[in-house]
């Protein structure tokens, strides 16, 4: 693969896919929103103490990334409805 192909490669991150619509159908319902709020309280809103070790912090960041991915896919799935 050449450098030119990498530079001109189009990103489809803004296009809605079928899986985005599935995420939206699950997490935009009242029960799905409750689950997402619960996941956020466990991950995104969690506080880290200065005594946490590196492994625990990386684990928490991975959990936060997953919750962010769910939120972005659910949002993208509702864009074209």
Copy the structure tokens of residue 6. Answer: 């990498």
Q: Which residue has the higher pLDDT, 68 or 11?
A: 68
Whole-angstrom CA distances from 76 to 5, 13, 22, 47, 65 are 27, 9, 10, 28, 16
Taking only the tens place, the pLDDT of each residue in 23-69 is 999 999 999 999 999 999 999 999 889 999 999 999 999 999 999 99
Looking at residue 44, its pLDDT comes to: 93
pLDDT band at 9 (very low <50, low <70, confident <90, very high): low
Place of tokens 């991915």: 69
Delimit the domains of the chain by residue range. Answer: 16-77
């Amino acid at each position: 693969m050449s450098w030119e192909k990498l530079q001109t490669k189009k990103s489809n991150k803004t296009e809605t896919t079928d899986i985005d619509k599935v995420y939206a159908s699950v997490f935009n319902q009242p029960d799905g929103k409750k689950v997402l709020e619960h996941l956020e309280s466990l991950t995104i809103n969690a506080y880290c103490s200065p005594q946490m070790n590196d492994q625990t912090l990386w684990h928490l960041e991975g959990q936060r990334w997953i919750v962010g991915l769910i939120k972005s896919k659910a949002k993208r799935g509702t864009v074209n409805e």
